Structure 1
Amino acid sequence: MNGAGEGSSASSGPGAPTPQAFKWALLIPVVLLGAALAYAAWHLAGGGGPKAAVGQSAPELTLTDLEGRTFHLSDYRGRVVVLNFFTSWCPPCQQEAPDLARFAQSAGPGTVLVMVDRGEAEGPVRRFIQQYGIDAHVVMDPDNRASQAFGVTGQPETFIIDRQGIIRQHVIGPTTATGLEQMTAPWE
């Protein structure tokens, strides 16, 4: 009874680790290390930094518009800015678009609508703006850095920024032309 089978059963007897246990023992630290590295990269990229908040100065944005020009949010100091984050494929953004068009047409000269597209190609954005007839300054946020700076987690999200560059309102979800008129009126 002292054959080869008996010797091999002694090494895998009760209490001895199985090959699966060794795999899990190696896999768990690798997964945890990967998660820690992903979190560190997200944090360094701005994901963990301070976010824009009502009552604080709006973060500076430097983006490119649909005509290839550089856009700086600070260039609009002295005007009320309605800063709308959107994507063309988003149903709530599509629902909101006619109201944005109406608001842009009725807004006084001291108010400007700036729309920030979140990571799309220019073609769909141009079609969206043309389809709804929106007269706005449209800028592209291809890497979502502007969205991160403002703490945007979805779309649409809209910020009302007063003439001094202070965020006065933050709306999550679609808004209306009437709502925008009411939110901007105190700051005009």
Structure 2
Amino acid sequence: MVSARTAAAAGLACAVAVSGCGGTAGPRKTGPSAPETARELRGSPPVLAALHRQASRLLDIAPSGFRLRLRSLRGHPVVINKWASWCGPCRSEFPYFQRLGASLGKRVAFIGVDGNDNDGDAKQFLREYPVPYPSYRDPEGELARVFEANLAFPTTAFYDARGRLTFVHQGAYPSEAKLRQDIHRYAGI
């Protein structure tokens, strides 16, 4: 038989575990404005400029098309962020991707992958947190398998300019500085 103390401890543990996976993560930090981002990214290489033209769009792509997209980006480091609108830690770190996507977007290809989400919520999330790159729908986790992501949200994958997967970070970044450090270390800029 389970004691009241054990049941209470189990309930508290469940509440703590679930609290990181939903809702908002405190006060919203914003990224640069659209005009600031456009100025920052002016003169990007053509393949990166094509990504910027799809900024904050939620697009469909098959896993084979996703692999082709990654191949088309060879010559540029790539950072892929798997997120979901319902994920509190994703909301916490998304402003880092907004700012670094703008400041590093001439040298690094950023791509979002929205998993286990509904379109309305995902599109609203991208209106609240606009990024200078597209996100691809991944309702079944097929795209995440391409970059060796597991079920964790958020997950960030890094490719070097030769197209090699160099690192997969599971969980939210605690700071923009740590994300920037990993981009330099694992994407090779």
Query: Map of 1:77-96 to 2, 5 A cutoff?
Result: 77-96=74-93
CA distance in 2, matches of 1:167, 1:67: 23
Following superposition, the deviation at residue 121 of structure 1 comes to 2.5
SS in structure 1 opposite 2:82?
A: strand
Q: CA deviation at 1:83?
A: 0.7
1:98-122 CA distances to partner (integer Å, 9 max, x unpaired)?
1111111111412021110113232
Corresponding residue number in structure 2 for 1:156: 154
State the alpha-carbon separation in 1 of the partners of residues 144 and 59 from structure 2: 21
Match of 1:116 in 2: 113
TM-score, with length taken from structure 2: 0.59
SS in 1 for 2:128: helix
* Aligned ranges 1:70-149 → 2 under 5 Å: 71=66, 72-149=69-146
Which has a greater percent of strand? Answer: 1
Provide closer, same or farther for how the CA distance between residues 108 and 68 of structure 1 changes in structure 2, counting only shifts above 3 A.
closer
Q: Which runs of 5+ in 2 are unaligned?
A: 1-56
Q: Which runs of 4+ in 1 moved over 6 A?
A: none
Q: Offset of 1:85 from its aligned partner?
A: 0.8
What is the TM-score with the length of structure 1 in the denominator? Answer: 0.59
- Distance of aligned partners of 1:157 and 1:68 in 2 relative to their CA distance in 1, 3 Å threshold: closer
Q: What RMSD in Å do the two structures reach over aligned CA positions?
A: 2.0
**Counterpart amino acid of 1:181?**
R
Match of 1:66 among 58, 61, 65: 58
Report which of the two structures shows the higher radius of gyration computed on alpha carbons.
1
